[in-house]
Amino acid sequence: MARLDVTETFHHISFPGHIHTQDSLNYALHFKFQDRDTVIATYPKSGTTWMQEVVTLVKNRGDPQLSKTVPNWARAPWLEQYYSEKVLGATQGPRIITTHLPYNLLASALQGSKAKVIYVARNPKDVVVSYYHFHKMAKFLPEPNSFDEFLDGFLEGTVSYGSWFDHVKGWTRQAEVLANVLYISYEEMWLDLRGSMEKISAFLQCPLVGEELTSSLRHCSFSSMRDNTMVNYTLVPQEIMDHSKGKFMRKGKIGDWRNTFTEDQICFFDTVYSQQMQGCPLTFLWEC
């Protein structure tokens, strides 16, 4: 099967060319955010789809109608992908917008905006393992060789969407200083989805009560999302995502990296991590 893994380089970062163009990336940089927009920002494989589901349910007060009938990329479109101008330009009312762009590329577009931004990060050992498996099934990403080689690229920041370190440091710094940017980790959601949902719904000024919260929790569980064709990416044609090579909703766990990393890789990772994160107050739950 032919691969679609052409690369679009933009501001020294590689993006999958199958779904990004210079025009769409530039459109994102000059996007006019509206005060009622909700922006979900993530590095890939950090819980993007999960947050799209959470925000959809919060905004719909637990009513699953939208999440069961409209694909996530249509109800929470990507800001930087080729279709964004057509889709976002035509959307009336409060929008849910998703982005994998690093903060520095959106800083000027977000300057002075009251749009609410939710930034989700995940411990990077689980991110890199999830990303490696995703590269095997997503035909718009380069076919990976060994995990060792992929890990090198991840730590160097040469993989698609650039450096995890720059991404996480850039966005979380904003969450420390701006009231309209909320930081939450994948692990916090995993350990306490109810508390996370309450935190997010309060941030979005849409607090959920009773059955609204219960229903939201039910539809955002891993098993519900794994079986929901609107979020598990099985609607995407086989030539773009080959589900025989792996599932998008793969494991959904904390600490799965233990099954992949060798002792040498752990050592190398930890050395690079401590250099790159020096002075950064963030901490992660690596396993539980």
Q: Is 72 in the site for ligand A3P (CB under 6 A)?
A: no
Q: Which is nearer to ligand A3P, 27 or 134 (CB)?
A: 134
The site that binds ligand A3P (CB under 6 A) totals a number of residues, namely 21
Q: What are phi and psi of 78, to 5 degrees?
A: -80, 135
Examine residue 188 and tell whether it contacts ligand A3P (CB under 6 A).
Answer: no
Catalytic one among 11, 12, 20, 100?
A: 100
DSSP 3-state of 49: helix
Which range touches ligand A3P (CB under 6 A), out of 161-169, 219-227, 233-241, 262-270?
219-227
Give residue 16's identity as a one-letter amino acid code: P
CA distance 128 to 113: 32
Distance CA 172, CA 83 (A): 28
Q: Locate 232 and state its tokens.
A: 């598990």
The closest alpha carbon to 226, from 197, 196, 253, 248, belongs to 248
Kind plus residue range of the DSSP H or E element containing 24: helix 22-29
Classified as helix, coil or strand, 14 is strand
Site for ligand A3P in 115-154 (CB under 6 A): 126, 130, 133
Task: Give the residue from 23, 26, 78 showing the smallest Cα distance to 49.
Answer: 78
Using CA atoms, how far apart are residues 3 and 21, in angstroms rounded to an integer? 17
- Is 45 one of the binding residues for ligand A3P (CB under 6 A)? yes
CA distance 53 to 118: 13
Q: Please state the closest distance from residue 110 (CB atom) to ligand A3P, in A.
A: 21
Residue 18 three-state SS: coil
> Of the candidates 198, 250, 268, 273, which one interacts with ligand A3P according to CB under 6 A?
250
- Annotated active-site residue 30? The verdict is no
Binding of ligand A3P by 184 (CB under 6 A): no
The neighbouring-strand residues paired with 184 are: 120
**Does 196 sit near ligand A3P (CB under 6 A)?**
no
Task: Choose which of 40, 168, 184, 220 interacts with ligand A3P (CB under 6 A).
Answer: 220
Among positions 47, 64, 77, 124, the unique one binding ligand A3P when judged by CB under 6 A: 47
* Residue 85 vs 157, nearer CB to ligand A3P: 157
Residue 113 vs 165, nearer CB to ligand A3P: 165
Nearest to 117 by CA among 31, 229, 194, 214: 31
- Residue 203 Cβ vs ligand A3P, minimum distance, rounded to whole Å: 19
251, 258, 270, 287: which one contacts ligand A3P (CB under 6 A)?
251
Stretch that binds ligand A3P, among 40-48, 61-69, 199-207, 272-280 (CB under 6 A): 40-48
Q: How many CB atoms lie within 10 A of CB 115?
A: 19
Catalytically annotated residues: 100
Question: Which residues contact ligand A3P by CB under 6 A?
Answer: 42, 44-50, 126, 130, 133, 190, 220-222, 225, 249-252, 256
